[in-house]
Structure 1
Amino acid sequence: MSLARLCLIIPFAYIIIYVGGAFLIPESLGLAWVWLQRGVVSAALVCLFVLFLRHSRGSRRPAGLTHAMGISFLLVLPAIITSYWVGVVGALVTPILVACSAIWERTRRVGNH
């Protein structure tokens, strides 16, 4: 649960470092600086996706994990800051999977009763 929260908090906290550091680093390191932010976003997205794979059934997820994975669409903002369109699309994957798993479980429960 705390890992999922960290995956959401760290990219946003890094935005402050990213923007502040952009004024301080030499221009020759600009591309590396952008890719560092993209790497932070990518790591968070992969981590959330792996957490979903480990806890794909909503009824078996630890408390609060569904919420953390459901709001991971907020990672669109750190991805947009660096024009990382793979990250923008990737930020939508986990929330969609969480919603689909919830729908799947509800339809299975209704069908079994």
Structure 2
Amino acid sequence: MTSQGNMSGSLVDRLGGGVVAFARLCIIVPFVYLVVYVGGAFLIPKSLGPTWVWIQRGVVSTAILCLLALFIQHPRPERRPSGLTHTMAISFLLTLPAIVTSYWAGVFGALVPPLLVIGSAVWERVRHA
């Protein structure tokens, strides 16, 4: 029999472990919640509509802020854990959950981590050239 801890650990391991798993969850969770958001939109009363929209926006904002915090912790490409650069570079995908709720701050915010990753890579190449 497997314990709950082992199941959780294997999920984290499958996602790359440590900060890489955390970064990947920051991208996955808004998409999973997007399905819940769209499905629940038909079930909730109209009076809860604005709250429902802001919950999705909060999920997207939290994901973006967590990715920015990870970039601040690991700004140099050569010192990032394996897989973190790729995960942060594809975080532009968070624009879709932001667009669904017309959350334009989230759309532009989702572009910041990939631009920071690209900028840091260019900076390192120029610095070492």
TM tier relative to shorter chain: over 0.9
- Structure 1 runs of 4+ with >2 Å offset: none
The correspondence of residues 14-53 of structure 1 with structure 2, limited to 5 A, is 14-53=33-72
Render the CA deviation track for 1:26-83: whole Å, top value 9, x for unaligned.
Answer: 0000000000000000000000000000000000000000000000000000000000
Structure-2-length-normalised TM-score: 0.85
Q: Output the CA distance in 1 between the equivalents of 2:82 and 2:96.
A: 26
User: 85, 90, 103: which is aligned to 1:84?
Assistant: 103
- Residue from 2, 23, 33 that aligns with 1:4: 23
CA RMSD of aligned residues (A): 0.3
Over the matched positions of the two proteins, sequence identity in percent amounts to: 65
Structure 2 letter corresponding to 1:37? Q
Question: How far apart are residue 11 of structure 1 and its match?
Answer: 0.3
Work out whether 1:69 is the aligned partner of 2:104.
no
What 5-or-longer segments of structure 2 have no aligned partner?
1-19
Task: Report deviation, 1:100.
Answer: 0.3
Query: Which whole-Å CA distance do the structure 2 matches of 1:38 and 1:50 have between them?
Result: 18
Relative contact order higher in (CA < 8 Å, ≥ 6 apart) = 1
Pairing 1:94-105 to 2, within 5 Å after superposition: 94-105=113-124
* Structure 1 unpaired stretches of 5+: none
TM-score normalized by the length of structure 1: 0.97
State the number of aligned residues. Answer: 110
